[in-house]
Each structure stands twice: as C-alpha cells, then as structure tokens.
Amino acid sequence: MKDMPAADTVIPPQPRNYHGFNWAGFGTLYTREVRRFWKVGMQTLAAPVVTALLYMMVFVVAVQGAAPPIHGTPFAVFVAPGLIMMQILNNAFANSSSSLLQAKFNGLVGDFMTPPLTPVEQVLAFALGAATRGVVVGAVTYAAILPFAALPITHLWAVLYFGISAALILGMLGIMAGLWAEKFDHMAVVTNFIIMPLTFLSGTFYLVDRLPEPFRTASHYNPFFYLIDGFRYGFIGHAEGSLLAGMGMTAGLVAAFAFMCLWMFETGYKLKT
C-alpha cells in the first residue's frame, strides 16, 4: 500500500483553549436551564402565583378584619412579603433539583459532564438558572399581589440582597439534593421534611417574637427566618431580627453551599457511578 501524500494527511482538530472561563459553554447550559422552565410556564410560573393569590385571598377576606395591625402595618401587607419569598424559595429549589434528578433518570448527565465545562461553570449555570426562576416567580407574584395589598418598596437594597441571595441559596441546595437523590421519593423527603417546615416556621405568617419559649429562640436559628425577615424589611421598613446577622448568615450560606456544590461536581458525586 502506498503512503498517503503529505498534502492529503488529515490533521485531527486540536482541543479548543478557552483561556479561562468558558463563556460559551456556561451560557449554553444556563440558557438550557431557563428555557426548561419557560417552556412549561403554566406549571412553573403561573401555578405558584395562583397559590400565593389563594393564600392572599384567605388573609384579606377571612383574616384581615380580625387580625390587628402588626407594627402599624396591615396584616395583609405584613404577610405579602413572606408569600413572595416562599415562592422564591420553593421555585429556585425545584428548578435545579428536578433538572439534575431528571438528567440522572434519563441518562442525560453526559449533556453537561462531557462538554469542556469546569465545576465552577457547571455550578454557576445550574444555580443562576434556578435563581432566575425564583426571581421571576417572585416578581410576578409581587405584581399579582398588589391589587390585594399596597406593598411599596421601602429599601430596594434589602429586597434585592435577600431576594437574590435566597434564590441562590435554594438553587444550590437544589443542586445538592438533586445530586444526592436517587429517586423522586428522596426529593419528596427533602421538600416535605426540610424546605416546607423551615419555610412555614420562619415567621412567614406571624411575628416570631410572639411565640412562647423555646419556639421563639429556636426560630432565630432558622436561616429562613433571616431571609424572610430581611426581605420583609425591604417593604415595611421593620425587622424582627438583626439585619447585620441576617446579611452575614446569608453570605455564609452562599459561600458554604457553593463550596459543597463545587466539591460534589469535582468528585463526580453520584454522577460518574
């Protein structure tokens, strides 16, 4: 057999060097996460808003007249920020957790493990995709609640800081839960026995200071309390707990959860087995 001429030799393509952050790969994965919930907007966007409105109608129609103002704030206005935050938390968690769990079930893990993406780029794409859903649902819920309760924004920085941080925290918690869970029953355990109790026992519908001991003290160890309290402060201008403590705790959770998510992707936790 004759040797091929040098001019006809096929040179295989060389690995692409992204010189740092792979913006193209990150943007593709992030866009996929956003499109994933946007395509089923009736389920992922409209349904949470309807749930919040049902809560709001109960408080306005059935409870408003019997409940006294809280710190000079009408009861419906006091409750509204908690309802918005509840939708942010639940939807941010649901987005990343369901995405990863379904990818494992359908054998699609290779879609984001095979491309040249670092763990940092993978975690950022999933976390920001989940945070986007949480923030969008929160914004739509806020607009839908306005006819029932006048809810002016008093401190925009607090609304943005605690709202976006909460979406990131629950988005990363969803990443950890999605990687850990091996079946949908495992995910239901996290939702029903961790997310839901922490949300409802965080002062969403009541003043924590009015709880008897030891429940009042225990509530101050609930991280969701500081997220909701700081978020509510942005609207009504009053906080039950320490804003500085809440900001520090929030930043600490973002850092700790980011470290855990990076470790799980770097080691391929339940992804490469």
Domain boundaries in the chain?
48-267
Residues 157, 159, 165, 168, CA torsion sign: negative
Q: Give me the count of residues in the chain.
A: 273
In this prediction, residue 256 has a pLDDT band, given cuts at 50, 70 and 90, of very high
pTM of the complete model: 0.90
Closest to 81 (Cα-Cα) out of 203, 250, 244, 214: 203
Q: How confident is the model at residue 248 (pLDDT cuts 50, 70, 90)?
A: very high
| Mean pLDDT, rounded, for 170-175 | 98
For residue 12, name the pLDDT band (cuts at 50, 70, 90): low
What's the pLDDT band for 209 if we cut at 50, 70, 90?
confident
146, with CB counted inside 10 A (0-12, 13-18, 19+), is exposed
- What per-residue confidence (pLDDT) applies to 106? 87
Kindly report the average pLDDT of the chain as a whole number. 90
Say how far apart CA 252 and CA 272 lie, in whole Å. 29
Quote the CA–CA distance of 104 and 101 in Å, as a whole number. 5
41-55 mean pLDDT: 92
